[in-house]
Structure 1
Amino acid sequence: MSINWVMLNPTGDFVKLPNERPVSTAQRIGFSLTTPRAYPAQNPLNIQSSTGSIHLTNQRIVYIPEKPSPEFRSFSASLLNLHDTHISFPWFGPNMWMALVEPVPGGNIPQSHHIELKLTFKEGGAPDYHSSFERIKERLQQAVESARESNLTSGRQDGLSGVNMDAVHLDELPSYENSGNDQMAPVNAVSAEEAAAETAAAEARWAEQARPSETISSQPEPRPVAATTSDGPPGYEEAQQQSLVDEVNRRLADHPSS
């Protein structure tokens, strides 16, 4: 983070760093750079600008006040030196984008300070700005991690030395669209008409199975058969014995003994 170190060209635009590419620009932005009350300091910082332009690039943010003064002509901070970024939605007034900034050596701000940055979006657009910032910062961090794994980072205070900035994609990923050229089904797949007919037939079979039966069988239900046992009815044995006695008596009467 640095104050009054941004180089401007004769047209008033800021001079870009090597491989720096702009992402977005917003006008009529209020600016506040202060020491939070929770972190008092001997010489608290308090830099204000009622309106100006904020520029987001693939490496940093740059603020140019509409009416520069000898004390405040520009502000810049690496994306990696901005922490705890969020949007504040006050009950009254425009939305604000806030961040804690990390000072760097030679940036005209004592490194012992804790600095709070507030950008006031008087004409709206804070959510879009925040979304773009987080997207670019995430991809920048991925590029830095890749460079660290290859032992390429060194030298720059913003931690971007050796980082391949061309690998930091700035645009949102495109949504998927079917080109119509890719074969999504096997060659012998059924046609749409055949598939629709099979679906209709399956639905009809399911409906037939789910329908309750309305026919009633004409055959009466069989009556339960009484279970038989090996024993006869009451008096069965006595009746058998009497029958045998009667049969013996009848034969004796037909053939009397001589």
Structure 2
Amino acid sequence: MLSEGASYTPLPGEQTLYQSPPRTTLSLQSADKHPPSQAYSQQCKSGVVYLTNRRIIYLPVTATSEFQSFAVPILNVLDSRVTAPWFGANKWEAVVQPVYGGGIPPQHSELELTMEFKEGGAFDFATTFERLKERLKQAVEVARESGLATGDGTESGGGQGGGALAGVNLNSVHLEDLPAYSPAVQQTPLIRPEPLPASPRRESVASASSPTAANRSSSLSSPRQDTFQPPSDPPPGYEEVQRGSIADELERRLRNAEERDDR
């Protein structure tokens, strides 16, 4: 599990998603239901936490004969949460299920895990872990529906092909954050309006800048602006009306003359 340097030996296809500062503590405790004689406890005050697409790995800064490393598969971690005490650094707590043959006594089916991030990073670790665990669960469900998954709900061993991820294509699991959704901006293409067919009125106005066009436009004036010319022939019945008017005038003058003679 350990490499020649200060890191770990990755499994085939394993990628590191998070690495904590070196001053991170680790505490493993057995549940209270066990008697004191069977209790299990492991402590480390300074180490580095690695979160990969397969496991949580803790490597102490100074290894001892009692404790050299700790690792747990992602799907074997339950009830994880971040606690922020009034005093001290933030902690990440969870319940882990040990794998078979991993160095923990077999009578302990669950252990309480606590990691204290003294130099920060608890929330970053928790956010990355929850996103990764959810996507691994979805990959397992898809593999089960297609009949490819052969494991149960948890990892039974530390090998590549055992446990819940047996038969799951880890290359299809998206490890990075998906881009935030933003509505697509539809760019409306510029549509140039087609020119309307020119009417005689538009042509006269458009060409009014030239002297010839100006003379032509002045000749196309409104009928109201034309000079009135009287008709050469008299209207119908004009002569009858004229004769009647003359007769009436003569009769009126004769009547007036007779009245003067009588006086």
* TM-score normalised by the chain length of structure 2: 0.64
Q: Is 1:123 paired with 2:119?
A: yes
Alignment-mate amino acid for residue 143 of structure 2: A
Q: Which runs of 4+ in 1 moved over 6 A?
A: none
Look up the match of 1:174. Answer: 179
Alignment-mate amino acid for residue 186 of structure 2: Q
Look up the match of 2:104. Answer: 109
Alignment-mate amino acid for residue 135 of structure 2: R
Look up the match of 1:162. Answer: 167
CA shift for structure 1 position 112: 2.9
Look up the match of 1:16. Answer: 10
Equivalent residue for 1:183, pick from 183, 186, 194: 186
- Unaligned 5+ residue runs, structure 2? 157-162, 192-263
Q: Is 1:82 paired with 2:82?
A: no
Alignment-mate amino acid for residue 107 of structure 1: G
Q: Is 1:100 paired with 2:103?
A: no
3-state SS in 1 of match to 2:82: strand
Alignment-mate amino acid for residue 164 of structure 1: N
Alignment-mate amino acid for residue 151 of structure 1: G
CA-to-partner distance for each residue in 1:20-51, whole Å, 9 max, x for gaps?
111010021100011133x2244111100001
- Relative contact order, higher structure (CA 8 A, sep 6+): 1
Contact 2:72 2:99 in 1 (8 A): no
Matches of 1:184 and 1:46 in 2, distance apart? 64
Contact 2:91 2:115 in 1 (8 A): yes
Question: What pairs with 1:15-94 in structure 2 (closer than 5 Å)?
Answer: 15-27=9-21, 28-37=23-32, 39-41=33-35, 42-94=37-89
Larger helix share, 1 or 2:
2
Q: Is 1:137 paired with 2:106?
A: no
3-state SS in 1 of match to 2:85: coil
CA shift for structure 1 position 99: 0.5
Aligned pairs, number = 181
Matches of 1:185 and 1:52 in 2, distance apart? 57
CA-to-partner distance for each residue in 1:132-158, whole Å, 9 max, x for gaps?
100011001111111111222236623
CA shift for structure 1 position 123: 1.0
Matches of 2:12 and 2:137 in 1, distance apart? 18
Alignment-mate amino acid for residue 21 of structure 1: Q
Moved more, 160-169 or 50-59: 160-169
Alignment-mate amino acid for residue 26 of structure 1: S
CA shift for structure 1 position 186: 7.8
Alignment-mate amino acid for residue 139 of structure 2: A
Matches of 1:151 and 1:187 in 2, distance apart? 53
Structure of higher CA gyration radius:
2
CA-to-partner distance for each residue in 1:177-210, whole Å, 9 max, x for gaps?
578xx6355877xxxxxxxxxxxxxxxxxxxxxx
Identity of paired residues, percent? 43
* TM-score normalised by the chain length of structure 1: 0.65
Alignment-mate amino acid for residue 137 of structure 1: K
